[in-house]
C-alpha cells in the first residue's frame, strides 16, 4: 500500500517527500512536533495536542503554518490516505529554510510543515501491554525547557537506544536530586508502596503529557489516592506497580526497573484498568 506525506501544502508519496537542506529543523533542530494517537481511525485527545502545539510554537516564536481547522482536516486526510485505524499521526513544524545562522533569519522565512501517519499493529501492542515492559534509568542530561515539544531529541534517542540494548522498552531520566523526571518518550507513574498513585508534577522540567492529563481525568472511575509528586528509582523498585503514558504507549504497564521486578513482575490492576478506560474513552469520543 502506498504511503502519503503532507509537505508544505500538498500530499506527496512518502518515498518522494523531501525538505530543503537548509531547513532550520535539519540544521539546528529549530522546530517542534506533535503526535496524536489514532484509535479506530479517530484522532485521540485532539484538543490537548492542538493546545500544546500552539504553545510550543509560541514559546519558540515560530509562526503557525496553518489555521487550526484546515490543519485538523489535513491530519484527518493523512489518516484516511494512509488507511490508519490504529497508529499515530506525526506533525512537525520548523522555522523554515534560510542560510545557516544561529540567530533567527531576518526576514523570517515561512515555517515548514510535514505530516505523516503510520499504522501500529494493534495485536502486537495489546500483547506488549498484557506482558508489560521494563525500564532502565539514566542520568537526566536534557536542556531546561523540556516543556516545549522540540524536535531536538538526541538525549531521548540515546536513552531509548540504551534501553533497547538492555532489553528494556523505555528509559526514565533521573535528575540531580535523584528523582525521576519522565521517560524518553512518555510520562512515568507508580502506585507506591502505600498504594498512592504518583506522577511528577508539571512545574518540573518535563513535558506536560496530554495522555497524562487525560488519565488524571479518568481517576474518578478508579478508587485511588493521587499525589502529583516525583519519586526515586528506589521508590519505583518498591512500588506495587508502575506504568507510562504517551501518545505512542497510551497506558503501558511497567513490570521491572533496572533489572528488578516491580510488584509481582506482572502488569498491575491500576495500570490495566487505566489502559482499558483510556482506550474505551478514545473509542467513544466523537473525534
Active site amino acids: 149
- The SS3 of residue 250 is strand
By CB under 6 A, name the one of 19, 35, 60, 162 that touches ligand PDD.
35
Residues 192 and 235 sit within 8 Å (Cβ to Cβ): yes
Asked whether position 133 contacts ligand PDD by CB under 6 A, the answer is no
Q: Alpha-carbon distance 21 to 183, whole Å?
A: 31
Q: Alpha-carbon distance 254 to 180, whole Å?
A: 14
- The SS3 of residue 279 is helix
Q: Alpha-carbon distance 128 to 130, whole Å?
A: 5
H or E stretch covering 3: none
Query: Considering only 54-62, 68-76, 184-192, 253-261, which stretch makes contact with ligand PDD by CB under 6 A?
Result: 184-192
Q: In the stretch 242-261, what mask flags binding to ligand PDD with x, by CB under 6 A?
A: ---xxxx-------------
**Which residues in the 140-179 window bind ligand PDD by CB under 6 A?**
156
Asked whether position 269 contacts ligand PDD by CB under 6 A, the answer is no
Q: Alpha-carbon distance 142 to 231, whole Å?
A: 19
Asked whether position 24 contacts ligand PDD by CB under 6 A, the answer is no
Residues 257 and 269 sit within 8 Å (Cβ to Cβ): no
Asked whether position 182 contacts ligand PDD by CB under 6 A, the answer is yes
Residue nearest to ligand PDD (CB): 211
Instruction: Give the number of residues in contact with ligand PDD, rule: CB under 6 A.
Output: 15
By CB under 6 A, name the one of 94, 137, 150, 187 that touches ligand PDD.
187
Grid cell locating 82: 494512509
By CB under 6 A, name the one of 78, 93, 207, 270 that touches ligand PDD.
207
The footprint of ligand PDD (CB under 6 A) covers: 35, 156, 182, 185-187, 207, 209-212, 245-248
Amino acid at each position: 500500500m502506498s504511503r502519503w506525506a503532507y509537505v508544505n501544502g500538498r500530499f506527496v508519496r512518502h518515498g518522494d517527500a523531501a525538505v530543503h537542506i537548509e531547513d532550520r529543523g535539519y540544521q539546528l533542530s529549530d522546530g517542534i512536533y506533535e503526535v496524536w494517537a489514532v484509535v479506530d481511525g479517530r484522532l485521540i485527545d485532539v484538543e490537548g495536542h492542538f493546545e500544546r502545539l500552539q504553545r510550543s510554537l509560541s514559546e519558540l516564536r515560530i509562526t503557525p503554518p496553518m489555521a487550526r481547522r484546515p490543519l485538523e482536516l489535513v491530519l484527518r486526510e493523512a489518516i484516511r490516505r494512509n488507511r490508519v485505524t490504529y497508529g499515530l499521526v506525526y506533525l512537525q513544524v520548523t522555522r523554515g529554510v534560510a542560510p545557516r545562522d544561529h540567530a533567527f533569519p531576518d526576514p523570517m522565512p515561512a515555517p515548514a510543515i510535514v505530516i505523516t501517519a503510520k499504522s501500529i499493529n494493534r495485536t502486537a501492542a495489546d500483547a506488549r501491554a498484557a506482558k508489560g515492559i521494563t525500564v532502565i534509568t539514566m542520568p537526566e542530561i536534557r536542556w531546561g525547557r523540556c516543556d516545549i515539544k522540540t524536535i531536538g531529541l538526541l538525549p531521548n534517542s540515546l536513552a531509548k537506544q540504551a534501553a533497547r540494548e538492555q532489553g528494556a522498552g523505555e528509559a526514565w531520566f533521573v535528575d540531580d536530586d535523584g528523582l525521576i523526571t519522565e521517560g524518553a518518550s512518555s510520562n512515568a507513574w507508580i502506585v507506591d508502596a502505600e498504594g498512592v498513585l504518583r506522577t511528577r508534577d508539571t512545574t518540573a522540567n518535563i513535558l506536560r503529557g496530554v495522555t497524562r492529563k487525560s488519565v488524571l481525568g479518568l481517576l474518578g472511575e478508579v478508587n485511588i489516592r493521587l499525589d502529583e509528586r516525583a519519586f526515586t528509582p528506589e521508590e519505583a523498585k518498591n512500588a506495587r506497580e508502575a506504568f507510562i503514558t504517551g501518545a505512542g504507549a497510551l497506558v503501558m504497564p511497567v513490570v521491572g526497573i533496572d533489572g528488578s521486578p516491580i510488584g509481582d513482575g506482572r502488569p498491575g490492576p491500576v495500570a490495566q484498568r487505566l489502559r482499558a478506560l483510556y482506550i474505551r474513552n478514545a473509542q467513544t469520543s466523537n473525534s
